[in-house]
Structure 1
């Protein structure tokens, strides 16, 4: 029975890893459908190459920083042990958590699209996945640096983030904000008075919608499989994910006045927000969390673009950064037994844990992107931006014209 349980756990977390891996296709098509046509190839290539670099960075460095298991260097035989014990559970656990880590550069990619050079971004990807993301991941999910034990002692409960509203999404969103600020806006986006000069509509609503659907379906692996073992699986997590997702859709539909770009990001806003509390809030609470997240994304995206002059192409800071923060704070509200939750949460712990995640992401993001900018230069030239990243970097259009004979 013990061997059977172990094998089932391996299969369970492997299926989760595959679902979250497929979400990277969602990131790719969401970006392809949003950017201008002349940058579609670049969007596809970035997500693919970021995944490759992220895997290597997390295997050799990041996983060890977060969990003290340095598989890549086989310290004290850790890799050999993982290969031979518990049906390779530690290896598929790495695979699952690596797909989370690789979401960080995939999130950032959408924010800095259309004006970032190729190899400098890959270097930034390596540094963030090797050091910045796992630093906070270890604090929140492995008890590193004593943050969780201190919060539990001081406020009665640790910081609760079941599937990563802060650990993954907010960290990715706030790193993206730092990268956007360092990189600057696209050439011609704003005039000398700071007024928005060019508005770029999505290049392909069908691709954007495809990306949103792939992400939405894969998210159930992201959330449910965060239990990491068969015995921890909860139908509540799946139900709450569904309710938050539809809450985001409904809010984005009405607040965004039927705009297809907002509507297809609505479910993602709800799903970002529910990650943290999907195991402790009620389905009614999840619906409210999703409704607030959908409205928050629409309003924050519009306001930050116009008033803060933050040229965030896909709106990843509002979507992942701000909705992730809302989701973590919402745990302290709707996770309480007074509002139908299962309890065991502390509002103060949620606030302090959230602030810690935002601080790590912002400080780490600025350090990485300023360093890379100084070393290699992050920004494409005005001429290359005008020509488009597809031709200037990859030497090919997304849809090359047919040869005429």
Structure 2
């Protein structure tokens, strides 16, 4: 009996450590979001990018702890501390930490689309709503306590449940499609389009942009591999599929983007976003193709968004996370099939339906939340504040304070 108890305790401890390490890796990805945005926006908006990401993370932590995680999984932490450990040495606590990192990705993704002209506190409030209500409700329908209803519907129609191993759709597509209404309601930055003509605003710092991409890429292996949840369920296939999809994205962006460093570094992210859903099902070559296609979608999708549709989505989060996240959900239904070397057990019809459901849910929530905020407190800086930059207008200090010393 003692040996059995020791074995159980060791297994529980291993799972807690496993998921905690994954949580830390995904937490580090938020530094990647920050540097990706800081490297893209102009110098006068760099402080704002850093503060937004950290504030959104902090607010999401509290919102998901008190409201979001209980909605998604039916587990409340409003009990004595001794009860929180339970018989699993606090596994539910680190599970909350890990899944919080997914939830907090939503406002971090949106931040890149609305950069340089959004008010600070209205966006913090929007992020809190998404982390506490919007995201957890959909999470509960796919992964959580209410999954039986929607997943049962998908299975009855398509023959299998909707499969999203690490969140191509639940996290990334959701974030990208939530961002689109915000970008549309905000409108373009001053000077971005003049009399119908596009005037691209160059990125401010390629090394920072590249650093953000690298941090995100490294942390993504925690995002995908540790989605197993338990040490005995870890999959080397997930790790290698993530690697091959990332590389496929880089190489495709190198060609399609004609050596453009912004496209190359975002190409890595495009591949990783797309492979999340089917990383446990695909053959590595299928993952490579999935990532390559995702990267091409981003290169041309970003150009169409910016130049033809004239949508001023600063970091291109709608094509990168929204459209490519949706592609990832559908790709799992294609490259997960045994005919293409996949593990099987997945339905293209179910993947398509689940992806469409996420898009509609996100768009509805995005237009409601940002529409109400726009009509009440307002979501855009004044022309004078935008011209001065969010750093000085909101935070009263620039990224390079010595530049203002005389």
TM-score, normalised on structure 2?
0.96
Using the alignment, how far apart are the partners of 1:403 and 1:153 within structure 2?
A: 64
Aligned-partner Cα distance in 2 for 1:159–1:79: 36
Among candidates 85, 90, 105, match of residue 83 of structure 1: 85
Partner of 1:23: 29
Runs of 4+ in 1 over 6 A off after TM superposition: none
* Secondary structure at 2:400 match in 1: coil
For 1:372 and 1:393, the matched residues in 2 are separated by: 18
CA distance in 1, matches of 2:75, 2:202: 45
Q: 1:403 to 1:257 in 2, by over 3 A?
A: closer
Counterpart check, 1:42 vs 2:45: no
Cross-structure match for 1:187: 190
Tell me whether 363-372 or 247-256 shows the greater mean CA deviation: 363-372
Query: Are residues 1:258 and 2:259 paired?
Result: yes
What is the CA distance between 1:374 and its match in structure 2? 2.2
Assess if the C-alpha contact under 8 Å between 1:38 and 1:388 holds in 2. Answer: yes
Aligned counterparts of 2:405 and 2:241: Cα–Cα separation in 1 = 55
Q: Secondary structure of the residue that 2:301 maps to in structure 1? A: helix
Superimposed CA distance per residue, residues 269-292 of structure 1 (whole angstroms, 9 cap, x where no aligned partner): 000000000000000100000110
Structure 1 alignment gaps of length 5 or more: none
What's 1:117 paired with?
119
Q: Which residue of 1 aligns with 2:236?
A: 235
Distance 2:138 2:404 in 1: 52
* Distance in 1 (alpha carbons) for counterparts of 2:231 and 2:223: 15
Residues 168-187 of structure 1 mapped to structure 2, 5 A cutoff: 168-187=171-190
Query: What residue is the counterpart of 1:97 in the other structure?
Result: 99
Q: Secondary structure at the match of 1:162?
A: coil
**Aligned length in residues:** 399
Mapping of residues 111-260 of structure 1, within 5 Å: 111-142=113-144, 144=146, 146-192=149-195, 194-196=196-198, 198-260=199-261
Residue deviations 1:171-219 (CA, integer Å, cap 9, x gap): 0000011111121111221123x221x2111100010000000000000
**Matched residue, 1:399:** 400
2 CA distance for matches of 1:404 and 1:120? 32
SS at match of 1:309: coil
Tell me the CA shift for residue 14 of structure 1: 0.1
Secondary structure at the aligned position of 1:258 is classed as coil
Q: What is the CA–CA distance in structure 2 between the aligned matches of 1:302 and 1:404, rounded to whole Å?
A: 40
Contact 1:174/1:362 (CA < 8 Å) preserved in 2? Answer: yes
Check if 1:54 corresponds to 2:57. Answer: no
Compared CA separation, residues 216 and 404, structure 1 to 2 (3 A)? closer
- Quote the offset at 1:143 in angstroms: 5.3
Do the aligned residues in 2 keep the contact of 1:143 with 1:149 (CA within 8 Å)? Answer: no
How far, CA to CA, are the matches of 2:176 and 2:116 in structure 1? 18
Q: Aligned with 1:142: secondary structure?
A: coil
- Residue ranges of structure 2 left out of the alignment (5+ in a row): 1-6
- The answer to whether structure 1 residue 375 and structure 2 residue 381 are counterparts is no
Task: Indicate how the Cα distance of structure 1 residues 352 and 81 shifts in structure 2: closer, same or farther if over 3 A, else same.
Answer: farther
How far has the Cα of 1:153 moved from its partner? 2.9
1:287-326 residue pairs with structure 2 within 5 A? 287-326=288-327
1-structure distance, mates of 2:39, 2:288: 28
* Cα offsets for 1:339-390 (capped at 9, x unmatched): 0000000011000100111111110111111122222110001111111001
1:218 and 1:305 map into 2 onto residues whose CA distance is 29
Tell me the distance in 2 between the aligned counterparts of 1:260 and 1:331.
28
CA distance in 1, matches of 2:326, 2:81: 36
Asked whether the 8 Å contact 1:252–1:263 carries over to 2, the reply is: yes
Measured against aligned partners, the alpha-carbon deviations of 1:80-104 in whole angstroms (never above 9, x if no partner) come to 6333331000000000000100000
From the superposition, tell whether residues 79 and 137 of structure 1 become closer, same or farther in structure 2 (CA, over 3 Å): farther
- Paired with 2:232 and 2:131, the residues of 1 have a C-alpha distance of 30
